[in-house]
Amino acid sequence: MINRFRSPLSIALALFFLAGVSLPAAASRTYQVQPGDTVFQIARWHGASPESIASHNQLNRAGYIIPGQVLFIPEPATLADEKLYTVQNNESLFTIAQKFQTNLSWLRQRNWLSADQIYTGQWLKVPAVTQPATGGNGNAYVWNIPALMARHPGKVFLQGATQRKQVALTFDDGPDLEYTPQILDLLAQFGVKATFFLKGANIAGREWVVTRMVREGHLVANHSYSHPDFRKLTTVQIVAEVTKTEGLVKRITGRETALLRPPYGEMTAEGLDRLVTAGYTMVNWSVDSKDWRADHQADQILANIMSQVKPGAIILMHSAGGSGQDLTPTVKALPALITNLQAMGYEIVPLTDLLPVAAYKPGV
């Protein structure tokens, strides 16, 4: 006897094929809409954003769904120190914090939680299992940014606190003579201002690119001189890395940088103490495009960002890379990224519009 029953998922897949619509990437799960569900609730249950669900399912009306409808839920992009975990029966945020040896503040911040209520089956970002690698002090690695934020309130940022639909584009490791000019061309074409965290060792012979950044209204900031892991350096070495790049930027622009993004987002408490005293604010990111990955093409870079973007997001991209690194996918993704963000009502602003910070030191 022929089984005539077809699951909602198989029906949905058939409709996708008949409509000629491409399926979402494999990194997704499916959810069948129940009576009373909203896109906002479904997004919260799965650790996604309403915008990413609407985009992933090509919903013309993001708020309109019907019971029985099958939605593809995009897997949230994760940072290097994160992984995804599915909440099990009878688990609470507290027990998950204990399970992964982290704290509630870390979980709330990384998962954009306004309350501690979680749901069975919900995706949560939790600390990635780290290898027994050690930092410069010989201790097992511990993600110390929450402690640094508590140590220096208002001097360490991962994202903006604004509820307005504003985001910041930031580019690390430039300048170079290939990708940075292309990125500047595109930003000029769309009338968008960004922040460039400069690697000092890349500046020689490319001073004109830095001059162009400033002339066209972008912010330039400090990303060290040689791009080392600051947690493996002494405080004196950290300060030397920063001041050497600061001197190069000042000779070109006449300005002393006040914004710092340490390589890999890593910093020691003592190093931060010295740099804050010297007038620096540390700015990391909340959305990693992962454009540094060799296996990521433009569509994956775009998906990484759009699945995580929220008001106040600081988006990490790169305008230069290591020897032989191809950032063509970054350049290709940028127009679609700007267009998608603006279509969703986001304003792309410099960091100084998103955060209560100054780009340059006073009196300069």
> Distance between CA atoms of 30 and 32, rounded to whole angstroms?
7
For the beta carbon of residue 115, count every other beta carbon within 10 angstroms: 7
Q: How far is CA 74 from CA 56, 142, 148, 329, in A?
A: 7, 29, 32, 21
CA 104, 110, 114, 119 torsion-angle sign: negative
Q: Is 218 designated active site? A: no
Where does residue 135 rank: exposed (0-12), middle (13-18), buried (19+ CB within 10 A)?
middle
Write the single-letter amino acid at 169.
Answer: L
Q: What is the DSSP letter of 265?
A: G
Q: How many CA atoms lie within 13 A of 209 on its CB side?
A: 25
Q: Residue 195's beta-bridge partner residues? A: 170, 219
For the chain, what's the residue count? 364
Residue 204 is classified by DSSP as: T
The active-site residue, picked from 46, 218, 296, 318, is 318
* Count of Cβ atoms closer than 10 Å to residue 253 Cβ: 18
In sequence order, the β-bridge partners of residue 71 are: 31
Determine the Cα–Cα distance for residues 228 and 239; give it in Å rounded to an integer: 12
Write down the catalytic residue from 172, 173, 288, 291. 172
Identify whether 172 is a catalytic site residue.
yes
Contact 234, 196 (CB under 8 A): no
Distance from first CA to last CA of the chain, Å, rounded? 83
Which pair of tokens denotes residue 356? 């209560």
Q: Which residues are catalytic?
A: 172, 318
